[in-house]
Structure 1
Amino acid sequence: MAGTDESIRALLAGNLKRARERHGLSLSELSRRSGIGKATLSQLESGSGNPTIETVFSLSRALDVPISALLDAPAPRPFTVVRAAEVEVLSGEGVDLRALRRITSGDTTVELYDQRVRARSRQKSLGHAGTEHTVVQDGVLLVTVDGHRTELGPGDYVGFDGSLPHSYEAAGEAVRSVLLLHYRTTAATEPVHDH
């Protein structure tokens, strides 16, 4: 995903405009669907906005596209090395995400993220496209999905429908985890039509 050549802002600017136009949406309509102000959307499309995790998730949900469709750079080479220092961090109210890789095979797209939940912080999501999978590497992660809460420790896994409201919380020290999102590619790339 975003590397040294293209910033998250630049990638989001081009990808957001293309996705919006592909769906035949005006800025006003996308604003209504996403709950993001029209002026903010205009700034994001021009590359001058400051995107957050919450913003990107809202746009993913409103456009019914994978998060990587908004943040991904052109297709990677066959041999890919991603250096931590070369990946921009996308921060939210409680989480820092580093997008490591997008893989498409057949009708499935998989996105791989390094996810860090800051100490005594919580990250909420109203939901987004895809299925979400998380494996805790270090720390204790509290995960709430559609009102159901569970505690995960190192090596533990949780998977759920990403469209459900959910949150990640580090009740104590920071939590390191691997986040994997997967989507059916056909559903993620087909235009949304109003009926």
Structure 2
Amino acid sequence: MRTEPYEGSVGDLLAANLKAARARRGVSLSEAARLSGISKATLSQLESGTGNPTVETVFSLSRALGEPISALLEPHPHQGMTVIRAAEVAPLVGDGVDLRPYGRIESAGLLCELYDQQVRAGARQESPGHVGTEHTVVRSGVLRVDVDGVRVELGPGDYVSFDASAPHAYSAPAGPVRSVLFVNHRADAKAPADAPH
């Protein structure tokens, strides 16, 4: 078995994968801009690897192209062992979270996406909803989770799972939070175009 470290930035991965996803779907840059609500100039920068993608940007592109988030962020598969060092993966930055994509597991038509999620102290990350089920395990801190009007607070070792199509938010009222986020769904599932993350 060989070990191959992960190399490249999130921006580099998105650049290559975004072009490939548009080609697979037969979507022009102008059409991708219209569907995602992201300017054509910004998309051009993202595809050239010079843009600065955010969590919100990647979620919008995922919805617009009907691709899993991980398909836009994962390196091409190879034989052997994959090693991803946290220090080598630049996070996607959102309004309230830093999200490091670590990969996806696909089996029997099901897809599970794996992320290291850090919620910044006093910050809140909202989502109107998207395809799949979210599973979160808190590693440190106190995580507040709001799902469709219901609120829970979780501490280290606690777990929550919910239908991600419902409006939801993560926040860290008492300091930063480290958690592991899994999103699973059918591999062929598509988010509705009017339900941005």
Q: Please indicate, yes or no, whether the TM-score normalized by the shorter chain is above 0.5.
A: yes
- Equivalence for 2:15: 13
> What 5-or-longer segments of structure 1 have no aligned partner?
none
Aligned-pair distance for 1:4?
4.9
- Equivalence for 1:48: 50
Could you tell me how far apart the structure 1 residues matched to 2:164 and 2:150 are? 14
Aligned length, in residue pairs: 187
SS in 1 for 2:8: coil
Could you tell me how far apart the structure 2 residues matched to 1:130 and 1:17 are? 24
Aligned-residue CA RMSD (Å): 2.0
| Greater shift in the superposed pair: 90-99 or 75-84 | 75-84
| Greater shift in the superposed pair: 94-103 or 125-134 | 125-134
Could you tell me how far apart the structure 2 residues matched to 1:119 and 1:84 are? 20
TM-score, normalised by the number of residues in structure 1: 0.86
> What residue identity is the alignment partner of 1:41?
L
Aligned-pair distance for 1:76?
4.4
Q: Deviations over 1:65-99 (max 9, x none)?
A: 21110011011444333322222222112111122
Is the 1:119–1:174 contact (alpha carbons within 8 Å) kept by the matching residues of 2? Answer: yes
- Equivalence for 2:28: 26
Which portions of structure 1, spanning 4 or more consecutive aligned residues, are displaced by more than 6 angstroms? none
TM-score, normalised by the number of residues in structure 2: 0.85
1:29-178 → structure 2 map (5 Å cutoff): 29-178=31-180
> What 5-or-longer segments of structure 2 have no aligned partner?
none
SS in 2 for 1:186: coil
Aligned-pair distance for 1:147?
3.0
